[in-house]
């Protein structure tokens, strides 16, 4: 039996929501092992001078808990 834990992380990118998601996964996998999925709960963007400046995602990252 496997147990999965879910944590919520925020990511930001000047490129796209997809890039923000990739950055969340890249950072999460630096310290978490067994990441199995990422669920994007919410999308946001900041606007500056009538243009989108940053793309933001509120992501839920799932990973397997390791047994000792």
Q: Is residue 4 classed as helix, strand or coil in its secondary structure?
A: strand
Is residue 40 within 8 Å of 21, Cβ to Cβ? yes
If phi over 0 gives left and psi between -120 and 50 gives alpha, with beta otherwise, what is residue 67?
Answer: beta
As a whole number of angstroms, the distance between CA 52 and CA 46 comes to: 6
Q: pTM of whole model > 0.75?
A: yes
> What distance in Å separates the CA atoms of residue 19 and residue 41, rounded to the nearest whole number?
15
* pLDDT, tens digit (0-9, with 9 covering 90-100), for 6-60: 999 999 999 999 999 999 999 999 999 999 999 999 999 999 999 999 999 999 9
Which tokens in the block code for residue 2?
């496997």
């Amino acid at each position: 039996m496997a147990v999965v834990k879910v944590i919520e992380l925020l990511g930001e990118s000047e490129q796209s929501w997809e890039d923000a998601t990739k950055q969340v996964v890249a950072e999460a996998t630096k310290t978490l092992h067994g990441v199995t999925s990422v669920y994007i709960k919410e999308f946001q963007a900041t606007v500056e001078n009538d243009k989108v400046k940053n793309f933001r995602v509120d992501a839920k990252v799932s990973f397997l808990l390791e047994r000792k």
